[in-house]
Structure 1
Amino acid sequence: MDGQIQSTPSRCHELAGALRMRNVRTRTGGWGLGVGEPQEGELSRRHMLAAGVSALLATLPACAQESKSVKPAAAAANQDAPAKAKPEAAAKPSKIDASWPTFRRTADLAGVASSPLPSKLKQKWKITSKDGFTSTAAIVGEHVYVGALSGEMLCLKLATGEIVWSYRTLDKVEKNTFLPGFQSSPAVTADGVFAGDEDGIFHAIDRKTGQKKWTFASNGQIIASANVVGDRLIFGSYDSSLYCLKATDGKKLWQYQTEDRVNGSPAISGKHTFVTGCDQHMRVINIETGEQETDMPLERFLIASPSVSGDLLFVGTHDSEVICLDWRKKEIVWQYSDEQRDQPYHSSAALTDKLVLIGGQDKQLHAIDRTTGKGVWKLATRGQVNSSPVIVGDRVFVGSKDGFLYEAKLADGTLIEKHQVPGRGISASPAVGEGCLVIGAEGNDGALVCFGE
């Protein structure tokens, strides 16, 4: 499908092409808890896909049953509890604002949790997949939803990790091939789970049963997550387009064509959605009409998803900068870079009223003054930080390619604790909801781990 894309040649295209040119290896061994046995003829995705994903993040950009209505994602939390759950096994009673229904929880992609976490995290459960996880999980009510590189979308019980259902990207797999994997994170509404796969198919799954509701085909792989506004789903594709679909039936409401691949998730504020990508532009699109209202050339590759707050937009670049934009004035307010470690930022920023927090490929988590753009503190890890940080009260959590989840004080970056997640490193981001934190790791037998009390 990539060959069908008509756009300006760039380093984004070169690496994306390399991502697909991988050696074939036959899958061996079993699968961990929660992922079904592979069908005969399927190939290992760990060697063919996840290694390519790691190369992508480490080097150049990869420019990356009908209901009557769709309820807001957060409202879905109150409809989830099994009727006969045992008291000792059930998760805490869900609240409307205690969920994590999409990649960064809210449509503005601010990365701030509303659910508290215990002062001391303990592992509640873990499952493993032969190909691991790069998708950020969603937590709604008493369930966790997560896509695997092996091509399954899983629904798990939050309390125990027990599988409720498993959905596959293809019904049948031909010999010596594999299921298209999920790199994008699921968006969960009251009755649906939505995510795109590496073959460019966008899937709508019945949240209760795990059955297919509908699919929509784009012309390029989908690695970024959809955002939800009302009854609309908005997502980008490697076919250089931003799509808006009707959630109930998948009808295309509009399609906006950019000039290169769209890697990140679109941020939403009011009637506008904000899209960045390999065409080095920041575009403001009217959600209702799909018409462009603002085009701001930035002359920088943008791999990460932007975060928006009022008139300001915050995003890391592949050109080793974090920038703050006033999208109404079409001005750069400030630019931040670490002169000692000049490395790209593929992480998406988390926002407080004072700080911008973002991970870098320089192996550090950076805290930046939101007003001035000056560095406040840095937290060192032993691997690239492509994971996007999450703010939980007075703490911040982020994953690293060194295989650890880092927990630090928000005020000064003091390390509180490191939590190991089995696999070959973390590029997924934490999901925090219902008093739990869930995060996955890449690699052979990469684990999905739930931390809580």
Structure 2
Amino acid sequence: MLVLFALLLLPLAAACQGDIGGRTDGWNPPASKDGVVYVGTKEGQVKAYDDDGFEGVKEVWAFPSGQTQPDIEGVYSTPLIVGDLVYVAAEDGFLYAIDKETGNIGTKGWKRPLGQPPELPPLVAGPAYDSVNQQVLSATDDGKLYAYNATSGDEAWTRPFLAGASIWSTPAVANGIGYFGSHDKKIYAVTLNDGKELWQYETGGVVAGKPLIFDGKLIAGSFDKKLYALSLADGTVEWTFGADRWFWAGAVTDGRTIFAPNMDGNIYALDRNGNLLWKHDVDASIVSQPVVTPRGLVVAAKDGRIILLDTSNEDLGLQRELSNLTLADTEIKAALFSDGESVYVGSQDHEVRRIEIKGGQVVMWCLHTEDTLCSN
């Protein structure tokens, strides 16, 4: 499986001039809720840590423990926390629903698909929750979208929805409809009560990032170097915006402005009609989805720098950059995760940091998911 996934990355890495490539043990993505941090580690486990702020963190559990099953090989997408369960899409091809109290599947959790099927393609897209139908969505590298009952894990549809190629795009969900992109260059809208296609729109390139639902539109980037705004109702194009390279990471918003990261190193700030308000170059490709905080937009450059940007629409030039924190000798590919004025950052050196975003950036703690101590 690792060889297969590496081969899948090669054409993308080549087209992106080596920006993506790399190891196939995941991206170390963190998530946080109710004082607990969950990390899909590069050691092939999901770990939970009690978060005591400046006092540091303490490991609570690790899944799998090593006694029940082999490791899950890696995690690319942010864990999803709903109710009593933590949902993790793993590189071994399984979607896991883990009891967040015990760190086991036990009687509350589940693992899908059932049984021990032949070698599965890795799950790159993250799980998504459909609150209308109380389902968890899981998209696969062989182009299938599954819906599972969030509690029981039972399949919700008679058969999965089929796209024309791999799905690396974590679905965005609103009002019982799921929206996602595919390597077949298309963006899909699927009604989640029955798994039927509502509409599709074909772009000129792979659509790998999570779409953004904003202002009655679906904002999705493509490897054809364009950002698309499509009508949620029927998929018609409202506007497009072009850049110099791929739109990989998904766009985010503060409710007024769209912030779209691009592999050319720029964050593009657009109004609801797709007009450019400003752009800022971080001097490195952006694979990680940024986050909006009360203090501004936090962006992780792939080369390990974490940048806080002023989101005002004034012409600020270099003064737009409010602070810049550099992680030595590592890369950041996992999506950032925000909780209030804190941002959680997982990096390729097995480290996770909680950074307080106030006047600048203060590292509250740093953990190494394998050795417990950070290198810097």
TM-score with structure 2 setting the length: 0.79
Contact 2:36 2:51 in 1 (8 A): no
Which of 296, 307, 310 pairs up with 1:355?
296
Matched, 1:145 2:87: yes
- Structure 2 SS opposite 1:414: strand
Paired position in structure 2 for 1:48: 4
Q: Which has the higher strand share?
A: 2
Query: How do 1:247-396 residues align onto structure 2 when only pairs under 5 Å count?
Result: 247-328=192-273, 330-338=274-282, 342-371=283-312, 372=316, 374-381=320-327, 382-396=329-343
Matched, 1:202 2:148: no
How has the CA–CA distance of structure 1 residues 58 and 414 changed in structure 2, closer, same or farther, with 3 Å as cutoff? farther
- Figure out how many residues of one structure are paired with residues of the other and give that number: 323
Q: How many Å apart are 1:392 and its aligned residue?
A: 2.1
Which of 76, 101, 105 pairs up with 1:159?
101
Which of 323, 327, 347 pairs up with 1:400?
347
Which of 100, 116, 123 pairs up with 2:59?
123
* Cα RMSD, aligned residues only: 2.8
Letter in 2 for 1:195: S
Letter in 2 for 1:204: A
Q: Structure 2: where are the runs of 5+ without partners?
A: 22-32, 38-49, 65-70, 372-376
- Structure 2 SS opposite 1:48: helix
Paired position in structure 2 for 1:220: 165
Q: How many Å apart are 1:121 and its aligned residue?
A: 2.8
Contact 2:338 2:344 in 1 (8 A): yes
Which of 18, 23, 40 pairs up with 1:59?
18
Paired position in structure 1 for 2:41: none
Q: How many Å apart are 1:170 and its aligned residue?
A: 9.0
Paired position in structure 2 for 1:419: 367
Paired position in structure 2 for 1:244: 189
How has the CA–CA distance of structure 1 residues 165 and 366 changed in structure 2, closer, same or farther, with 3 Å as cutoff? same
Contact 1:379 1:415 in 2 (8 A): no
Query: How do 1:58-77 residues align onto structure 2 when only pairs under 5 Å count?
Result: 59-60=18-19
How has the CA–CA distance of structure 1 residues 170 and 151 changed in structure 2, closer, same or farther, with 3 Å as cutoff? farther
Q: How many Å apart are 1:48 and its aligned residue?
A: 3.3
Paired position in structure 1 for 2:75: 133
Paired position in structure 1 for 2:135: 192
Cα distance in 2 between the residues matched to 1:378 and 1:248? 45
Cα distance in 1 between the residues matched to 2:17 and 2:363? 25
TM-score with structure 1 setting the length: 0.66
Letter in 2 for 1:346: V
Letter in 1 for 2:323: W
Cα distance in 2 between the residues matched to 1:401 and 1:202? 28
Q: How many Å apart are 1:276 and its aligned residue?
A: 0.7
Q: Structure 1: where are the runs of 5+ without partners?
A: 1-44, 63-91, 101-115, 424-453
- Structure 2 SS opposite 1:49: helix
Paired position in structure 1 for 2:180: 235
Q: How many Å apart are 1:117 and its aligned residue?
A: 5.7
Partner deviation per Cα, 1:294-334 (whole Å, 9 max, x = no partner): 12223331111000233421122111222212241x32222
How has the CA–CA distance of structure 1 residues 169 and 315 changed in structure 2, closer, same or farther, with 3 Å as cutoff? farther
How has the CA–CA distance of structure 1 residues 99 and 226 changed in structure 2, closer, same or farther, with 3 Å as cutoff? farther
Contact 1:169 1:181 in 2 (8 A): no
Cα distance in 1 between the residues matched to 2:79 and 2:332? 18
Contact 1:170 1:179 in 2 (8 A): no
Contact 2:76 2:124 in 1 (8 A): yes
- Structure 2 SS opposite 1:212: coil
Query: How do 1:82-93 residues align onto structure 2 when only pairs under 5 Å count?
Result: none
Query: How do 1:85-104 residues align onto structure 2 when only pairs under 5 Å count?
Result: none
Which of 106, 110, 122 pairs up with 1:181?
122
Q: How many Å apart are 1:264 and its aligned residue?
A: 0.6
